[in-house]
Amino acid sequence: MDTLSIPTALTTSLTAFTRKALVISAIVVAATVASAVLSGCEKKGPAEKAGESIDRGVKKAGDAVENAGDKIKDATN
């Protein structure tokens, strides 16, 4: 029984293509990881600080309204 063989030129070009694809994939992964790491290291700017301050104020106001509602509920029972 004869086996089919792939020509050497084809296997060489496939190997080179596979190697290039692997290198490109590694570069893309490295760039993605680097951008994720660098974006996580930024200091908070004034807009972000102001937004967090507003969030805290809204939470406190919501808690106060909830407490007032609980007091009214308790007083009517």
Shared-domain flag, residues 6 and 36: yes
Instruction: Identify the sign of the CA torsion 46, 49, 55, 61.
Output: negative
What values do phi and psi take at 22, rounded to 5?
-65, -40
Give the integer Cα–Cα distance in Å for 52 and 28: 34
Shared-domain flag, residues 53 and 38: no
Residue 40 has pLDDT above 90, yes or no: no
What does the pLDDT average to over 2-7? 62
pLDDT at 48: 87
Q: Provide the residue range defining the domain that includes 33.
A: 1-42
Shared-domain flag, residues 50 and 76: yes
Shared-domain flag, residues 3 and 34: yes
How many domains is the chain partitioned into structurally? 2
Residue 1 has pLDDT above 60, yes or no: no
pLDDT at 60: 93
Tell me the pLDDT band of 12, cut-offs 50, 70 and 90.
low
